[in-house]
């Protein structure tokens, strides 16, 4: 998506060869107009799918998911990264490793909000090594819901995430695919 690539080039910062900082419009400060355009692009890509629920992982996937939920008129469920003190056996749980934070999270979702009759679109802000996506897949599969699609806002294509997810039998739709962050320069894969 050219608009997103322009935002990344203008406001993004290649911290090192592995880390892209986009806190000016996605991760700290959120640009609502951009979020709506991202949602429209995702809606267009998955227009032939019958989506009944959107699933994301807190925090940065929530904004684009909400805009898409509004457009599709479906609920948005976000997987929590830390179990609550009142967490019971009524939750789906799995362990996820965050590449950026180099930290493990127990990701949870109440069984009240994800069911076997749900047709799910999973959205996340970044894909690096695919751990968050794989964790979400595990929870969606445990709920016996149907995963109809995966949308990633920014994919670091030089890392192994897409390959791991595709090996599980799922395709990935990414709005921007980063080819390299070498020497502080952001380059994209042309599609």
- Gyration radius of the chain over CA positions: 16
Binding residues for xanthine: 20, 27, 156
Question: What does 132-186 look like in DSSP terms, one character per residue?
Answer: HHHHHHHHHHHTT-EEEEEEEEEEETTSSHHHHHHHTT---EEEEEEEE-GGG--
Binding residues for 5-phospho-alpha-D-ribose 1-diphosphate: 128-132
Distance, CA of 11 to CA of 124 (rounded, Å): 19
Binding residues: 20, 27, 128-132, 156
């Amino acid at each position: 998506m050219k608009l997103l690539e322009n935002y990344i080039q203008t406001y993004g910062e290649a911290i090192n060869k592995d880390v892209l900082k986009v806190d000016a419009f996605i991760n700290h400060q959120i640009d609502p107009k951009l979020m709506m355009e991202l949602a429209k692009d995702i809606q267009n890509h998955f227009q032939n799918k019958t989506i009944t629920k959107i699933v994301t992982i807190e925090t940065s996937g929530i904004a684009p998911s909400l805009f898409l939920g509004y457009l599709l008129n479906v609920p948005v469920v976000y997987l929590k990264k830390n179990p609550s003190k009142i967490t019971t056996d009524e939750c789906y749980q799995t362990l996820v490793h965050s590449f950026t934070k180099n930290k493990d999270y127990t990701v949870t979702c109440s069984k009240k909000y994800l069911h076997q009759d749900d047709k799910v679109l999973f959205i996340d802000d970044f894909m690096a090594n695919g751990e968050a996506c794989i964790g979400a897949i595990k929870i969606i599969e445990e709920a016996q819901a149907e995963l109809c699609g995966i949308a990633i806002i920014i994919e670091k294509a030089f890392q192994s995430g897409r390959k791991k997810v595709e090996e599980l039998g799922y395709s990935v739709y990414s709005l921007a695919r980063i080819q390299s962050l070498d020497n502080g320069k952001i380059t994209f894969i042309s599609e």
